[in-house]
Every structure is written in structure tokens, then in C-alpha cells.
């Protein structure tokens, strides 16, 4: 397919990328491109300029700190995360990334691209909220850190604004996590998903039911279904599921994810 | 933009529009029509190629993103008329009917076998998840890959 005409820039550093993004209104960061190139084909996005982040070492790498905090560069691919020994410190990350799409997409798609595109059917936004991730955003004024709960603002919209870049994601130590989804075929697009983390109380973030992940908390996995009901979800209907069915799935999947998390 | 890409060992320099997808660059500019365009939406895997050792779908990549890279396509597998064991196995196991998906299947299976010479059945299935075949029902493709697994 022939895309609309677009300029292409490959900056040599994050600072240069930020300058280019800030100086060009129609510029957009290109991460792995496994979403962006496709939405450009459909003309759902028509950037004037692509700023390719590939090759920027500052945006790569997975580090495990002494306190168990994982710091993951935004341009880390799903495949790199799945293969990473450090990332096993929080096992749910590689488990979920291994179920995203297929080998080819996992080889190119990045963790930063997944959260910044914030498609409501993506796997990582609810997971980032459940595990309490912290996102570092770089802009003209320096860096700031935003908790995942405040990062996702709307469909395809995050706290990472124009002229800014998500540079890395910090994930605290933990093992008691779970993830459950109903998908279109094995490892397909999520119809509804839930990520859970148990640390004293149970945190469950639901995906596909609203513009942003919906966080519910409960004292125990048994209380999760009630907490989901109390959230009064009004998920959209589409060709794959009615609103009522998604509401039902949200309860079931939240409970499943919480139960998985509790026994680890 | 000037782009230099090495494909199957031959280095090509071309002036390419940034909007051109790698699959079109391979097929239209280099006349390497072995890689196919099936869906154009990143689902079918018929355009799969190996880019610097990594399996990718060439319809979800701009040609300019491959600047400086080394690309392997289905044309690079056989040595002249000498098929690779995997290609021979596809023939012997009737792992293709119309053949449209075959270039992508071969590249995905080649990437798998390089990384995992003795894959389990689940590993083969998972490795071919990004490649859709509408003829064979997949079974003979699995058999072909399994037959060359060490």
C-alpha cells in the first residue's frame, strides 16, 4: 500500500529527537511501527514527519536495581523483554509480552510504543497500572515521572504530549501478579483483559472496557467481582462483544487474574 | 532518500521515497518478487523476511528503516537449484497448495530452526503464528518443519 507522503528523520540522540519533534507540529515518533505504520496505511494517522527512534541506545536496555526495581528502555522490543534474564524479576512482564500478536510483531513492537499508542485493547496499559509502573517522560524542560495510573488519558492519548518522548518505564519488585484475557484467536486482539497484582490488597486493572484502564481494588480475590460490579462499567459494544458481555467478561477475568496473582 | 540495503548478499543503493514500504522496495525496486503481499495489514505474514537476523513483516517497515541492514528473502534460501532441507521438506510433505503463503512460511520456519534447531510441536506452532495459510490446514506445514528439526 502506498502511504501518504511523509518525511523521515533519524536523530542521533534523544535530545535531537526532542528538538525535531518540538520544531515540527506534524512530526511523530516512530518506535517499532507495528501499530503506526498500519494506521498510516488506513490514513487513521497522517504524520508529516516520522522521527525514527530505532538505534537510540539511551532508549534501550533492561536494568535490575538492588531493590528489585526494573528499568526498561522505551524502545525495548517484546522479544527482547521475553528473552531478558533481568526481566524475569517480575515474571508477568515476559509472560504477557509472549502473548502479544506473533513472532514478527514481537520482534519489532516495543513496550514504549504499546503504552504510548494506548489502544484500549492493548495488553500493556492495564498491566502497567496493576504493577504500579512509573513512566519517565522527556521534554524540552527536562524529565518528569508519571505514575501509570495518571499516564493513560484517553483513547490513543497519554500524558506523553507532543514534543515529548517516553524514555523508560520503572517497575517495582514483585511476583504476585496475574493476567487474564479473552482474545480473538490465540494471542489475538483482546476483547477484554485484566491485570492483577497482590501486595496486601488486590489491585486489578481492566482493559478494553473504557478509554483508559479501570483500576479496582479489593481486600481479597473473592472481593474482586463485587469491586468490578461497583465500578459500574459501561464498556462499548462492537462486532466482537456487546457491552453486557464485556461487563460479564470483566468480572470473570478480573477474578481469574486476581486468583492467579494470589497463589504465586 | 538514499538507501543502501544488502539483500541476499548483494548490496543495492537506491533513491527511495520515505513512504515506501520495504515489501514494495523488494518487489518493485529490486524485482525480488518472492516475498508476497497478502493482506497489507500486518496479519498474514506472506511478506516475512529476515532483517539483520530478526524475522519481520516487510509490510510493517519502511524501506528507509532498513538502511544499512542486511535482508534475507526467500530467494536467498536455495543455492542455485539446490533447495534447503526445509524447502525440500515442504515439497515432500505437500506443505503448500497455492503457494502464496510459502515464502513467508519458509522464512518464519528458517528463523525458528536457526534459533531452536529442535523445536517442540508447540514451539513450531508458536513460531508460525504470524503466518496465515488458507489452503493446507497447516498440518502438512507442521509436518515439514518437524521433519527437518534436529
- Confidence at residue B11, expressed as pLDDT on a 0 to 100 scale: 98
Between positions 68 and 97 of A, the ones with CB within 8 A of B are 79
Number of helices (H) and strands (E), helices first, in chain B?
Answer: 5, 5
CB atoms within 10 A of CB A264: 12
- Confidence at residue A248, expressed as pLDDT on a 0 to 100 scale: 98
- CA-based nearest residue in chain B for residue A5: B19
Mean pLDDT over B18-47 rounds to: 97
- Give me the interface pTM, i.e. the ipTM: 0.97
Query: Is the CATH code 3.30.43.10 the one for domain A7-52?
Result: yes
List pLDDT tens digits, range B41-96. Answer: 999 999 999 999 999 999 999 999 999 999 999 999 999 999 999 999 999 999 99
SS3 B132: coil
| Of the partner residues A8, A108, A186, the one whose CB lies closest to the CB of residue B1 | A8
CATH number of B2-76: 3.10.20.30
Instruction: List the domain boundaries for chain A.
Output: 7-52, 57-171, 177-262
| Of the partner residues B19, B24, B127, the one whose CB lies closest to the CB of residue A103 | B127
Whether this prediction's pTM lies above 0.90 is answered by yes
pLDDT-derived band at A171 (thresholds 50, 70, 90) equals very high
| Residue A3 cell numbers, joined | 502511504
Task: Give residue ranges of B with CB < 8 Å to any A CB.
Answer: 1, 17-21, 24, 40-42, 45, 48, 54-57, 59-62, 64-65, 108, 111-112, 126-127, 129-131
How far is Cα A245 from Cα A3, in angstroms, rounded to an integer? Answer: 37
Mean pLDDT over A13-18 rounds to: 98
- Confidence at residue A1, expressed as pLDDT on a 0 to 100 scale: 85
CATH number of A57-171: 3.30.465.10
- Confidence at residue A84, expressed as pLDDT on a 0 to 100 scale: 98
As a whole number of angstroms, the longest Cα–Cα distance in chain B is: 44
Residues ≥6 apart with Cβ < 8 Å to A185 = none
Which residues on chain A are in Cβ contact (under 8 Å) with B127? 103
List pLDDT tens digits, range A246-262. Answer: 999 999 999 999 999 99
Does the pLDDT at position A114 exceed 90?
A: yes
List pLDDT tens digits, range A86-101. Answer: 999 999 999 999 999 9
- Please, where are the H alpha helices in B34-101? 85-92
List pLDDT tens digits, range A215-239. Answer: 999 999 999 999 999 999 999 999 9
Does the pLDDT at position B150 exceed 90?
A: no
| Residue B5 cell numbers, joined | 540495503
CATH number of B85-148: 1.10.150.120
Report the CATH architecture of A177-262.
Answer: 2-Layer Sandwich (3.30)
| Residue A16 cell numbers, joined | 535531537
> What's the gap in Å between the CA of A59 and the closest CA on chain B?
17
Instruction: List the domain boundaries for chain B.
Output: 2-76, 85-148
| Residue B31 cell numbers, joined | 524485482
Amino acid at each position: 500500500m502506498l502511504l501518504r507522503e511523509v518525511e523521515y528523520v533519524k536523530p542521533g540522540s534523544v535530545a535531537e529527537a526532542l528538538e525535531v519533534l518540538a520544531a515540527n507540529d506534524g512530526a511523530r515518533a516512530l518506535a517499532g511501527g507495528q501499530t503506526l505504520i498500519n494506521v498510516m496505511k488506513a490514513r487513521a494517522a497522517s504524520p508529516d514527519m516520522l522521527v525514527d527512534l530505532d538505534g537510540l541506545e539511551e532508549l534501550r536496555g533492561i536494568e535490575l536495581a538492588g531493590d528489585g526495581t526494573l528499568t526498561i528502555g522505551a524502545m525495548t522490543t517484546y522479544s527482547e523483554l521475553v528473552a531478558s534474564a533481568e526481566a524475569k524479576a517480575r515474571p508477568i512482564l515476559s509472560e504477557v509480552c509472549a502473548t502479544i500478536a506473533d513472532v514478527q510483531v514481537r520482534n519489532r513492537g516495543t513496550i514504549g510504543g504499546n503504552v504510548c499508542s494506548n489502544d484500549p485493547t492493548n495488553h500493556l496499559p492495564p498491566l502497567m497500572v496493576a504493577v504500579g509502573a512509573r513512566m519517565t517522560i522527556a521534554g524540552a524542560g527536562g524529565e518528569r515521572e508519571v505514575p501509570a495510573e495518571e499516564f493513560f488519558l484517553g483513547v490513543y492519548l497519554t500524558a506523553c504530549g507532543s514534543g515529548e518522548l517516553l524514555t523508560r518505564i520503572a517497575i517495582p519488585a514483585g511476583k504476585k501478579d496475574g493476567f487474564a484475557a479473552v482474545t480473538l484467536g490465540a494471542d489475538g486482539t483482546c476483547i477484554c483483559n485484566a491485570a492483577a497484582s497482590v501486595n496486601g490488597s488486590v489491585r486489578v486493572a481492566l482493559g478494553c472496557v473504557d478509554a483508559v484502564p479501570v483500576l479496582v481494588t479489593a481486600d481479597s480475590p473473592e472481593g474482586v467481582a463485587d469491586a468490578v460490579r461497583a465500578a459500574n462499567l459501561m464498556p462499548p459494544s462492537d462486532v466482537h462483544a456487546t457491552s453486557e458481555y464485556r461487563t460479564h467478561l470483566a468480572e470473570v477475568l478480573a477474578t481469574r487474574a486476581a486468583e492467579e496473582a494470589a497463589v504465586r | 532518500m538514499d538507501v543502501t540495503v544488502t539483500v541476499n548478499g548483494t548490496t543495492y543503493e537506491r533513491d527511495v521515497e520515505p513512504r515506501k514500504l520495504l515489501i514494495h522496495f523488494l518487489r518493485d525496486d529490486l524485482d525480488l518478487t518472492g516475498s508476497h503481499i497478502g493482506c497489507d495489514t500486518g496479519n498474514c505474514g506472506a511478506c516475512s523476511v529476515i532483517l539483520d537476523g530478526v524475522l519481520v513483516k516487510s509490510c510493517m517497515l519502511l524501506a528507509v528503516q532498513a538502511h544499512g541492514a542486511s535482508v534475507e528473502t526467500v530467494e536467498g534460501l536455495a543455492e542455485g537449484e539446490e533447495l534447503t532441507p526445509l524447502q525440500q521438506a515442504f515439497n515432500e510433505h505437500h506443505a503448500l497448495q497455492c503457494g502464496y503463503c510459502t515464502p513467508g512460511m519458509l522464512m518464519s520456519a528458517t528463523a525458528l530452526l536457526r534459533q531452536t534447531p529442535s523445536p517442540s510441536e508447540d514451539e513450531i506452532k508458536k513460531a508460525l503464528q504470524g503466518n496465515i495459510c488458507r489452503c493446507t490446514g497447516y498440518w502438512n506445514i507442521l509436518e515439514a518443519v518437524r521433519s527437518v528439526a534436529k
